[in-house]
A and B are shown apart, each in its own frame.
Chain A
Amino acid sequence: MKSAVILFPGTNRENDAIAALEQASGSKPQLVWHGETELPKVDLIMIPGGFSYGDYLRSGAMAGKSPVMRAVADQAKAGVSIIGVCNGFQILTETHLLPGALMRNAHLKFICKRAALKIENAETRFTSKYDAGQVVKYPVAHHDGNYFADSETLDRLEGEGRVALRYCDDDGVVAPETNLNGSQRNIAGILNEKGNVLGMMPHPENAIDPLHGGIDGRGLFSSMVEALS
């Protein structure tokens, strides 16, 4: 699997992303600067976490309008796989490659902790190594992870199996108490219509080493390698 990682001013989890991609695929991703208008030919484009443009105005807003994102949108249309994590997810919604928006966490505070997540759809190129309903643990680290979309959109997402992950408890129970940021319907990650674009708030790339306290994140990367190699 050949991959590229997009860098914006203020991106800060690129090395975490690179480490995870390299561990899973055996090859180093190419780095692409935000000003580029053309992308290398790759199987996967990853938009990592961070604070592009300081999260000023709205998180992901300015990065969403950058030249490279037009190229990413073209690639998305052409069916190339794209994953946005945390700030990457915010950028994908700002670019309208994914529906909805990520608002300030309901409790208004930044939150960094290991979170339990329920795999809602295990039949995607990003999640095939998991079982449907499986509970995995990835860390979250965000201030604006409160997923919002109108109820029509939410119904559509659910109806089309496009909710990839939800916040739950250790036993997989999805409830208001397990909703760590106020997201509509506990949504932690969603897919686009074609299923080739995934956006998610949690950080699978920070759960790939036993010394991270768990390796649940590996499944996501190995799913992609299997599907895209």
Chain B
Amino acid sequence: MSNDFNAIEITPELIAEHGITEEEREVLMNIMGRMPTYTELGIFSVMWSEHCSYKSSRFWLKTLPTEGPQVICGPGENAGVVDIGDGQAAIFKMESHNHPSYIEPYQGAATGVGGIMRDVFTMGARPIANLNALRFGSPDHPKTRHLVSGVVAGIGGYGNCMGVPTVGGETTFHPSYNGNILVNAMTIGLANADKIFYSKASGIGNPVVYVGSKTGRDGIHGATMASAEFDDNSDEKRPTVQVGDPFAEKLLLEACLELMAGDSIISIQDMGAAGLTSSSVEMADKGEVGIELWLDKVPMREEGMTPYELMLSESQERMLMVLKPGREEEARKIFEKWELDFAVIGTVTDTRHLVLKWDGEVVGDIPVPPLVDASPMYERPWEPTPKAVEIDAASVAAPSSLTGALKQMIGSPNMASKRWIWEQYDHLVMGETIQSPGGDAAVVRIPGKTKGIATSSDCNPVYVKADPIEGGKQAVAECWRNITATGAKPLAITNNMNFGNPERPNIMGQFVGAIKGMSEACIALDFPVVSGNVSLYNETKGEGILPTPVIGGIGVIADVAKSMNMALKNADEELVLIGETKGHMGSTLYLREIEGREEGTPPVVDLAVERRNGDFIRDLIDAGLVSACHDLSDGGLACAVTDMAMAGKLGATLSLTDSGLGNHVALFAEDQGRYLLSTANADKILEKAAASGVPATIVGKTGGDALTLGDGDAISLAELVDAHEGWLPNYMAQEA
């Protein structure tokens, strides 16, 4: 009977349909020494997929700096772990759900959020903050509105129900994402540093336990679906879309944390992509043991499920655990209290094989080490990205009106307020949100403490496209800067590498360049990589997306009451610019929005300067010398002061002294490593700056209800707010 499951004849075509190349097939045949069964073929196919094996990226990922005294656990586990003092650890990671979100925006985004939260709580952490980095196509593309509304509702739908505040993220639009949006979700969790759970299985004979929701035929690979049999309604094409059940996940979270408070768990692993396959293989591999699974014992949602389907299903809200012997009942009680399925579905063995049984009969048997180690790793050919043209600032024409240009920029899709989005996210639940979305970095307090975590996600893909190395550096630097602007000390990052087809040497060159730039910045800023995710093949009709290595960083601030934000608070204060303005105009927002040109080298990040300026800012904030602080990024000085004025509902005047650059260049250049401060202590700050060799200049004053550039070019705050706050709601209101 059980053999029926594997009755399907394995042909070279079927193997190819499973995405296994000829070369890989050779390796597979050597490992098995025989034709794989249908179930085994499915397992190889998912384990050796780009998604699970990182076959194109692994070689380069290994070059990222991952160490530092703060790092408890770097890449290789479900999420990265860093020490935040007091015996506590922050556990965090970012993950993409790009393709599913394009197919079904609500469920795709929702299950993305669910997946990343499981990665974090499987390690023993309670999630305390979520972020999301979104990239959509051009606003006038017919699908964009629908995608924005679905993705945002999905992220909110899942995170809100879980009771985890969504405190930050980023959202930009660019035509390169028209057919391939990006949905990257990040979760930060809090755990005791001495109570972190890993996936390594151990203890021959120990029970392997399945908990959570039942397994259905969700997300079983499209290509393989074609050859699978349907038991009913075969005319109805079965959707491969996964539907999230945030309520089940909330129960799973509480049940897992309750069980984790005791000592019965040896190892635990969420079932994410490739579900039961990757979780069991990973546990066995890490523990250098074997695992035997009794698939007929798996809680099933549908009748007639096959081993193939059970092993490949991507049903959500499930976990696999190895328990200490004899602790099953204690665990079962907890999961039953939370009304979740609980089943002992296997045992740890000493064979180092993954053995699958159905009613006692073997339906699959694969040696684990080669399944994992012999998985392909490619050093794909790559070419460096040709140098972009240098834009001479003197060649960039001045706008007819500076305030007019400013208004246009601040109301452009990429700069416009994303309030419409983050007001759909519960950013306050848990009662610890100290800095809400809309600022440089969000700040959440650690329950029961004065300290908090600052977090931000960043990437400027236009920079990365123009120069992957500088762009990669810049993404890390900007994240570090955003965290610094709140007064927090940056600790570590996660990342999501979203790129096109790695089989194209120019795309692979973007990937390699970005990794190099990121590495440099991480080292210079003591900001190691502790986790991450890679999403390749993001392209439609042969056109890749802009290379988008999203950086998600966290930092710690000892006393959240001292954390700084960008809102201007007092009139008649001095505005002090920290950092040097050289007048870099290439790849800037000004060039794109005002001149309609997307070209030119991106600004260079001088990492030593970056660090010096940032450390200086942090000291000023800590010394209480600053009343508002904002880093300068897209749109330069003018956009920064506008953000600060709008946030504080208080006007400001920038005095335009002749810098030799031209006013529009001084205002809109995107030189790096800069911050704008509002302060009543300008003298002291200038003095300190001089002593530390940090460039600092008084550039204006706070007050009034308008923004004034130079001697009289003024625009009311109300008008700016309208442009800035109005764009997205107006755009979405035309929903059709």
The CA-CA distance from A50 to B426 in the complex, in Å, is 11
Known: A15-B447, A50-B163, A212-B431. A110 touches B247 (CB 8 A): no
Chain A residues lying within 8 Å of B433, measured Cβ to Cβ, are 212
User: Among B156, B162, B248, B560, which residue has its beta carbon within 8 angstroms of that of A110?
Assistant: B156
The CA-CA distance from A128 to B442 in the complex, in Å, is 35
In the complex, the chain B residue whose C-beta lies closest to that of A113 is: B423
Binary flags per residue of B156-173, CB closer than 8 Å to A gives 1, else 0: 110011110000000000
Report the stretch among A65-73, A76-84, A203-211, A218-226 that lies at the interface: A203-211
Chain B residues lying within 8 Å of A110, measured Cβ to Cβ, are 153, 156-157, 160, 424-426
Chain A residues lying within 8 Å of B160, measured Cβ to Cβ, are 51, 110, 112, 141, 143
Binary flags per residue of A166-204, CB closer than 8 Å to B gives 1, else 0: 000000000000000000000000000000000000010
Chain B residues lying within 8 Å of A205, measured Cβ to Cβ, are 431
The CA-CA distance from A92 to B447 in the complex, in Å, is 29
Report yes or no: A12 in contact with B339, Cβ–Cβ below 8 A: no
Binary flags per residue of B424-451, CB closer than 8 Å to A gives 1, else 0: 1111111101100000000001010000
User: Among A13, A50, A111, which residue has its beta carbon within 8 angstroms of that of B423?
Assistant: A111
Chain B interface bracket (under 10, 10 to 19, 20 to 34, 35 or more) = 20 to 34
Known: A50-B163, A110-B426, A211-B434. A9 touches B250 (CB 8 A): yes
In the complex, the chain A residue whose C-beta lies closest to that of B422 is: A112
Known: A10-B161, A12-B162, A12-B163. A54 touches B428 (CB 8 A): no
Residue picked from B248, B429, B433, B434, most chain A C-beta under 10 Å:
B429
**Distance in Å from the Cβ of B426 to the closest Cβ of chain A?**
4
Q: Is B245 close to A, CB under 8 A? A: yes
Chain B residues lying within 8 Å of A55, measured Cβ to Cβ, are 161, 247
**A interface, by DSSP: helix, strand, loop or mixed?**
mixed
Chain B residues lying within 8 Å of A51, measured Cβ to Cβ, are 160-161, 163, 246-247, 250
Q: Is B382 close to A, CB under 8 A? A: no
User: Among B163, B250, B426, B445, which residue has its beta carbon within 8 angstroms of that of A112?
Assistant: B426
Binary flags per residue of A94-118, CB closer than 8 Å to B gives 1, else 0: 0000000000000001111100000
Chain B residues lying within 8 Å of A10, measured Cβ to Cβ, are 161, 247, 250-251
Report yes or no: B247 in contact with A56, Cβ–Cβ below 8 A: yes
Report yes or no: B431 in contact with A19, Cβ–Cβ below 8 A: yes
Q: Is B226 close to A, CB under 8 A? A: no
The CA-CA distance from A13 to B429 in the complex, in Å, is 6
Q: Is A123 close to B, CB under 8 A? A: no
Q: Is A16 close to B, CB under 8 A? A: yes
In the complex, the chain B residue whose C-beta lies closest to that of A49 is: B429
User: Among B153, B245, B429, which residue has its beta carbon within 8 angstroms of that of A109?
Assistant: B153
Chain B residues lying within 8 Å of A113, measured Cβ to Cβ, are 423
Residues of A within 8 A of B (CB-CB), count: 29
Interface residues of B in 92-123 (CB under 8 A from A): none
Q: Is B5 close to A, CB under 8 A? A: no
Q: Is A148 close to B, CB under 8 A? A: no
**Distance in Å from the Cβ of A196 to the closest Cβ of chain B?**
26
Q: Is B358 close to A, CB under 8 A? A: no
Q: Is B561 close to A, CB under 8 A? A: yes
The CA-CA distance from A51 to B244 in the complex, in Å, is 15
Besides A13-B431, A112-B425, 20 more A-B contacts (Cβ < 8 Å) are A9-B250, A10-B250, A16-B429, A51-B160, A51-B246, A51-B247, A54-B161, A54-B248, A55-B247, A109-B153, A110-B426, A111-B424, A112-B422, A112-B423, A112-B424, A112-B426, A112-B427, A208-B431, A211-B434, A211-B560
- Sorted from nearest, which 9 A-B pairs have the closest CB atoms? A12-B163, A54-B247, A16-B431, A51-B161, A141-B426, A110-B424, A112-B426, A110-B156, A139-B428
Q: List 24 A-B contacts (CB under 8 A).
A: A9-B251, A9-B338, A10-B251, A12-B163, A12-B429, A15-B431, A15-B447, A16-B431, A51-B163, A51-B246, A54-B246, A54-B247, A56-B247, A110-B156, A112-B422, A112-B427, A141-B428, A141-B429, A206-B428, A206-B429, A209-B431, A211-B445, A211-B561, A212-B433
Q: Which residues of B approach A to under 8 Å, CB–CB?
A: 153, 156-157, 160-163, 245-248, 250-251, 338-339, 422-431, 433-434, 445, 447, 560-561
